[in-house]
Structure formats: C-alpha cells, structure tokens
Amino acid sequence: MVSLLTIALAQCIVTISLVYLRMQSVNQTLMKPPNHYKDKLLNAITGCTVHRKLFSWWKLGSVRRELLLRALDVRNFSNEETNNLIDNMLKDPRELEHMKETLKSDSVPRRTLFGYFHPFCNAGGGGEKVLWKAVETTLAFDPNIIVLIYTGDCDSTGSEILENVQNRFDYKFDTSRICFIFLKYRYLVDSKTWPHFTLIGQALGSIILTIEAILKCPPDIWCDTMGYPFGYPWVWHLLRIPIVTYTHFPVISSDMLNKLSHQPRSLKNMGKQVYWRLFMKYYQHIGNYITIATTNSSWTNDHISRIWRQCKTHVIFPPCSTEKLVNYEKESSVRLVRKNQAIVLAQFRPEKRHRLIIKEYSKYLKSATYDDIPKLIFIGSTRSDTDREYVEELKRYAYQHLKIPQEHFEIMTDLPYDDIKKMLWTSTYGINAMWNEHFGIAVVEYIAGGLIPIVHGSAGPLFDIVIDNVGFFFLDPSDPDYKETHSILGFGTLCDAFKEVSYLNDADKKKLSDIAIRIALTKFSDNKFDGKWIDVVLSKVLH
C-alpha cells in the first residue's frame, strides 16, 4: 500500500511539474550562465577570490558548458574528482593560461556539445559497442564537436573507461574532446531498487537521472543509446534541443501485453493489465518529443514504429566489427581446419536456453544412425557466482541426467577473444536458441566466421541475419507463441535441424559459409554503421 501511495504521489509531482514547465521558458535559464560569471572565474583563477562555491548548484551546469566550449582539453572540466570547476583547470597550466585569455573575450568558439546518455557505459556489452562506435563516428565527423558521456560508473575514472574501450573494441578517439559527466543516482534505474512496480519505478528513476545530467551540463543534442525514454519530455521542456534515441528493445511491447492477456483471469492479472496498458499509453506519448528514432533491428523497429507513430523510425544495425572476424583466417599464422563441431556463443543466462539445446542435442544423439556426429560446445563468460552455479547445473543436466558422453559435449568459460575467434574459424555450426532475440550479435559473429547458423526462427536472427537460405531455423513447443508461429512458419525442432544439417556434404557447407561471410560484410560491418549513423543522425541534427 505504501508503494502504491509513493508512486501515485510521484506521478502527481511529475505531472504538475511538467504543466509548470510548459508555462515557463526555463530552457534559456539552464543554458545561460549567471551574470558576471567570467569576472568571478577570472578572479578565482588569479587568486583574487576563493574559488569555492562561486555559483549556485543549479547554475554549475551552464558555467561548465561555457568552459567546455572554450576548452583546449575538455577532460579538465569533468566532475570526475570534484564538482568544482576550477580545481582540475588549476592542475593544467596550459589550460589555465588559455582560459585567462579566452574569458576576457566576448566571442565563444562555434562548437557543439553532443551528449550521450548511457549510465552503464563501462559494461562492455553490445549496447556499449554501439555507444562507443557512435562516439568515434561523431568525433570524426566534425572537429568542432565535443562529446559528453553521461554515466553512472563512478567507480572508474574517465581514462580507465577509455582504456577498457580500447582493449575491448579497439576504437580510437580524440580523448581531448570527450568529457565524462558522472551521475550519482544511477541506482534509481536498477531493477533491484524497485522490487515492486519495476516498470514505473525505473521510469521515475530515469527521470531523476536525466534531470541530474542536465543540471550538471546541458548539451546541444541529447542522444540516448541505452533506452531510458521517460526522461525525454524533461529534456525537451528544460532545453528545447534535438533528441536522438537508439533503441535496443522496447520498454514494453505488444508481445508483453498479448502474453498477459492469455494468462488465467484473476484480480491480480486484471490489475496488471490495467497497469501495463496505462504505462504503454504514456510510453506512446513520449514519441512526441523525439527528433530522430533509430533501432537495432527490424523486429525492434516494427514494435517501436507502432508505439511511436509520431516519428519515423530507422534501422541501424549494430557495429559488429565483421571486417576483423572475416580477416582473422588470412591474418592467422597457422592454417585453420574446420572440425565437425557446433558452438553456442552466449552469456550463461537462462534466457539463452542452454538446457533446451542440451535436451534437443540428447534427442538427436539417441536417434542418430551414423558415427560422424558434431560435438556440442558452449562458450560464454561467467560474471558472478550465480553464473558459475548455472554452468555446473548444465553439466549435471548433460552428463548425469541425460547421460551425454563427455567427448560429445563441452563447456568453455571466460575464453579470451582471440581464442573465441579461433573457435569460430575452426567450427562448422553456430547455434542460437533464444526466443525473440532482438538482434543477435553472436549470430552475426557466426556468419562472419563462416559458420552455418542453426537459430531460433524469431526476431533478429529470422528477419535480419540468417537470410538467403544461409542457415537453418527451428522452433520449440515451449515458445510462448509456438502455436501461431509454427502454423505460419512450419519450422521443426532443434533436433530436426541437427538431423537436417547432418546430410550436408563438404561442397554444400563451403557454399553456405561463403554466402554467410558476404552477408556479414555487407550488412553488419563497422563501416556500414558509420555510414548509416552519419546519414540518419549526424547530417540531420548537426546543421
């Protein structure tokens, strides 16, 4: 009851605030620095006054913005160590002298602050790969662009984050034009913070986090590459700037609503339906504030275009660095030979459906009438004790419960990326069993490595990746929409797919492998992402 009252009160506050903002021209207030700010800064720099608490907390962002527009190295104006605007500048004599001169002038360099809102920018996953490739492309597009990274990774420094990006993704930047704005309220968008009413709790949390970002430094362009849309109205009302969104998956979708409607009728389910439908209504309303909407796949784009009908949506496939994978064989010092093995490249999480793969593989083993059976290998990272226990459960299920011989099944955890690339180029098949995988970067890695994909017939793998008859699809009776999709698509089970690929000869495999590599290069390369990001986003918002 307390949670309901809290949420209702928060909603009332948000609604009243938005009405107030419609009546006030606050965007000029947040962008405009206080009167005589240059005199105050000069006096503090030259030691005429104490440089602590020169400005009100809600004006610090506008002053930081002015300093960034003038800066030689924008890293000097991050709030990494302190929120004080003078401390970091005093450590860089070159920046200090430059600021003394430029603050005496009335002219401000024509630069653009491009703000990327990505609270988990140091996570190292596919979403972060999109972020940092977009940053690299944006900085290369125009030397007058400064990139702001709004992040909650307060346990790392900006230089540490950029070093991780270099090691993980091999992207290179002009780091003097990247300024990190660290946010302290990131925990408010963590699902663990909201054990009940998670959707609306995270939505309210993202609003607070968005406002914190704006107050710490208002940008000229707001780009959300992680998926926190409920802050967009606040960005619009407070700043009146273009809003760009890259959506990996919808916060709530028609699939979720349909799935709930098929559950047994009860008071709890009826209440949940009302809650979700009201939430969807407001989610649809947010489309009014978006300038450019981009998505990661056809499946996501189909859902988002039906939700945000007010704006045109564009598909920009994630950058998958397929150029590097395709060239791995040429750059390898040894000759790579493909073995009769099928790999599953996925994080060890239940939604990746490892148990289903093991079960279907066991059925296939029992029905096989020949000796040349592909070995099944799971490859993935373990992030926690929970993941490691999940791996042990899979081993017990395979070896003890289903009696799969150890020579036919293996699990490899936490392999270095070079070893993963070698496994891609020395295997024959790649399996993905996730239902409604929004995109499927692992499947792209399969085809870039010349593997024959065996994938679930849904979402990204079905509509975007495994095309031109380059692979094999399957469905499973445990799929939430199995009855509808099976009647339309007619795909068999994973066991059936195993049997089907067993009849491929070497010529067939080579032909499919060559087609797969061509698709990987033409659709999912980093260069392809560059071109689309420039055409769809940068050329339109940077005038």
> Which regions of the chain are under pLDDT 70?
1-28, 48-52, 260-262, 334, 370
Per-residue burial over 56-85, b = 16 or more CB atoms within 10 Å of its CB, e = otherwise? eeebbbbbbbbbbbbbebbbbbbbbeeebb
Fold of the domain built from segment(s) 2-31+110-315: Rossmann fold (3.40.50)
Residue 279: how many CA atoms within 13 Å on its side-chain side? Answer: 23
Return the domain boundaries, the chain. Answer: 2-31+110-315, 34-109, 322-524
Q: What is the DSSP string of 349-397?
A: -GGG-HHHHHHHHHHHHHH--SS-PPEEEEEE---SHHHHHHHHHHHII
- pLDDT number for residue 344: 96
* Rg of the chain (C-alpha set): 26
Residues 361-416 pLDDT 10s: 999 999 887 677 999 999 988 878 888 999 999 999 999 999 999 999 999 998 88
- The b-or-e profile of 379-418 (16+ CB within 10 A means b, else e) is bbeeeeeebeebbeebbebbeeebebeeebbebeeeeeee
Q: What is the pLDDT of residue 14?
A: 56
195, amino acid identity: P
Write down the pLDDT at residue 385.
87
pLDDT at position 231, please?
A: 96
- What is the reported pTM? 0.85
pLDDT of amino acid 20? 46
Q: Do domains 2-31+110-315 and 322-524 have the same CATH topology?
A: yes
- For the record, the structure tokens of 541 come out as 């918002």
Q: Could you tell me which CATH number the domain at 322-524 has?
A: 3.40.50.2000
What's the pLDDT tens digit per position in 266-284?
Answer: 787 788 888 888 999 999 9
Task: Tell me what pLDDT residue 6 has.
Answer: 52
Beta bridge mates, 151? 182
> Who's near 75: CB < 8 A, 6+ residues apart?
88, 158, 175, 176, 178, 179, 180
Give residue 1's pLDDT: 41
Query: In a 3-state reduction of DSSP, which class is residue 181?
Result: strand
How many other CB atoms are found less than 10 A from the CB of residue 142?
12
Phi, psi of 223 (to 5 degrees): -130, 115
